[in-house]
Chain A
Amino acid sequence: MAHQQIHLTKRPALLAVGWALLRIGAVAFGGLGATLALIERDLVERRGWLEASEVAAALAYTKPLPGSTVVQVVTFLGWRLGGWPGAIVSTIAFLLPAFAIMTLAAAAARALPDAPWVRGALTGLQVAVVGLLAAAMWRLARSEAASVQLTVVLLAAFAAGLFVNAAFVVAAAGTIGIGIDRIERDA
């Protein structure tokens, strides 16, 4: 009986998982770090469905994979909570609020009149976006490309990206990485 109870707390109902992730998805502002904190507070501390170490594992295993890491952390943890159904329900529930807001925003953006104040607002928005991209690039470079080797890759990719397709540059860099890794291992 005691064993069964432990099992039950470890595997909450799909509907409850979906509801919890929908709520997190609706307030998951501020990127990966802020969302991880939300997940930890809700799923680990408040509901006790997961261990903190599982959240850390989710991050460690999904970071090297291609794709949005925050979504993949949710998928990974959803799988731990309820296998593939848990993974699918968690992911869809988490994305639903962002998807709904974005679709409405896209409709609104298309309906904007071509007035001077709209053009001014969009220019202001664009200034903010370029500044935020610069900040994102700075932060990512310091965390993901801290070594000299990877800084060279970063700069070479920037130069190549001015002339060559971006997808090709990413794939080529990865392939070169496999080659260098093999040479370093043999040496």
Chain B
Amino acid sequence: MLELIGRFMIIGALAFGGGQAALPLVERLAVADTGWLTPTQFATGVGLSYATPGPVLILAAFIGYHVAAAPGAMAATAAVFAIPVVLAGFAAQLVGKLKNAGWFQAFGRFAAAAAIGLLGVTMAALARPLADIHPGLLVGVAIIFGAALRGVHPIVLIGGATLLGACSSLL
């Protein structure tokens, strides 16, 4: 439990570029480093976090639940938002002073760009098992990508793909 809290606090502190950019850190933690979740379970959690209201990092509750049921869900959620929330509170208090901290802005810009690049690694990790099932599934990925960029709502895409997957297994 302490490991869960500590690791999610670090993710919160390093989540430059927002919640989605932090997904690679979460994947590393929950799948590659600890084996708390299988890649499929992780992808399910990400899908659910897109389909639920609120921040994507509510994924922490999903992972926390897998590690230690409801108390784990609560601990992981509190941990991942703790540092960012305190920082945001101080930002509201210190409005005007932060903007002058050029070194801090530079750190954030570069860290965010790196985090976005790392999304590619996470994508590859999740796409590989799909290609193993059937390379044709990657065409589906491309279709979802195009539809998402054209503004189709994530819930529609997630619901449609899940339904299609369930139906195809019945054929």
Q: Which residue on A lies nearest to B94, using beta carbons?
A: A61
A172 to B133 Cα, complex, angstroms: 36
**Could you say which of B102, B110, B130 contacts A130, with CB atoms under 8 Å apart?**
B130
Assess whether A126 is in contact with B40, with CB atoms less than 8 Å apart: yes
Assess whether B121 is in contact with A161, with CB atoms less than 8 Å apart: yes
Within 1-33 of A, Cβ neighbours of B (below 8 Å) are at 25-32
B102 → chain A closest CB, angstroms: 6
- CB 8 Å contact bits of B55-83 with A (1 = contact, 0 = none): 11111011001100010011001000101
A82 to B59 Cα, complex, angstroms: 28
> DSSP class of B's interface residues: helix, strand, loop or mixed?
helix
B-side contacts of A106, CB under 8 Å: 45, 48, 61-62, 65-66, 73
A63 → chain B closest CB, angstroms: 8
Given A103-B65, A119-B169, A128-B157, A133-B110 contact (CB < 8 Å): no
**Could you say which of B23, B48, B153 contacts A102, with CB atoms under 8 Å apart?**
B48
Range for the number of chain B residues in contact with chain A: 35 or more
A98 to B27 Cα, complex, angstroms: 20
Assess whether B85 is in contact with A124, with CB atoms less than 8 Å apart: no
Given A29-B155, A153-B113, A98-B84 contact (CB < 8 Å): no
Number of A-B residue pairs having CB atoms within 8 Å of each other in the complex: 386
B66 → chain A closest CB, angstroms: 6
Assess whether A130 is in contact with B127, with CB atoms less than 8 Å apart: yes
- CB 8 Å contact bits of A55-77 with B (1 = contact, 0 = none): 00110011111111111110111
B-side contacts of A125, CB under 8 Å: 43-44, 47, 158, 161-162, 165
A-side contacts of B87, CB under 8 Å: 62, 65-67, 72
Assess whether A158 is in contact with B120, with CB atoms less than 8 Å apart: yes
Assess whether B165 is in contact with A171, with CB atoms less than 8 Å apart: no
A164 to B9 Cα, complex, angstroms: 20
B-side contacts of A181, CB under 8 Å: 102-103, 105-106
A-side contacts of B133, CB under 8 Å: 123
Given A116-B169, A137-B116, A162-B121, A126-B129 contact (CB < 8 Å): yes
B1 at the interface (CB under 8 A from A): no
B-side contacts of A77, CB under 8 Å: 92
B140 → chain A closest CB, angstroms: 4
Assess whether A132 is in contact with B53, with CB atoms less than 8 Å apart: no
A117 to B167 Cα, complex, angstroms: 7
Assess whether A122 is in contact with B40, with CB atoms less than 8 Å apart: yes
B5 at the interface (CB under 8 A from A): no
A-side contacts of B163, CB under 8 Å: 121, 124
A46 at the interface (CB under 8 A from B): no
Assess whether B121 is in contact with A158, with CB atoms less than 8 Å apart: yes
Q: List 16 A-B contacts (CB under 8 A).
A: A63-B18, A64-B104, A70-B54, A71-B54, A73-B88, A75-B92, A99-B54, A126-B40, A127-B137, A128-B144, A131-B141, A131-B142, A144-B116, A166-B25, A167-B28, A173-B110
